[in-house]
Amino acid sequence: MLTVAEIKKLKPKDKPYEILDGDGLYITVRPSGAKSFNLRYRYGGRPRNLTIGPLSLGLAEGRRVAAEARGEIARGMTRAP
């Protein structure tokens, strides 16, 4: 699992890249320096990705929203197309 200090050290590269936090939650770092929380999961047998929000949410809130989304997915609901 990532720490706030580790996230602050993430620097942009020429191409977007992902850093895994755990349980499908990851942070995408874009060349512009923008960082966002995302959730990777399977729904209907297909891989899906859900953008949770910008890093300004904070690590604890990003994890909380991801856990809530996983619960909705497990109950058969999804916010992703």
Q: Which residues contact 41 (CB under 8 A, 6 or more apart)?
A: 24, 47, 48, 49, 50, 69, 70, 73
First to last CA, the chain: 28
Let me know if residue 79 belongs to a domain: no
The 10s digit of each residue's pLDDT in 20-59 is: 999 999 999 999 999 999 999 988 889 999 999 999 999 9
Let me know if residue 80 belongs to a domain: no
Let me know if residue 51 belongs to a domain: yes
CA 59 and chain centroid, separation: 10
pTM: 0.86
Give the H or E element holding residue 34. none
Number of independent structural domains in the chain: 1
The 10s digit of each residue's pLDDT in 62-81 is: 999 999 999 988 888 755 44
Domain that holds residue 25: 4-74
Q: Is 33 exposed, middle or buried (0-12, 13-18, 19+ CB in 10 A)?
A: exposed
In this structure, what CATH number is given to the domain that contains residue 41? Answer: 3.30.160.390
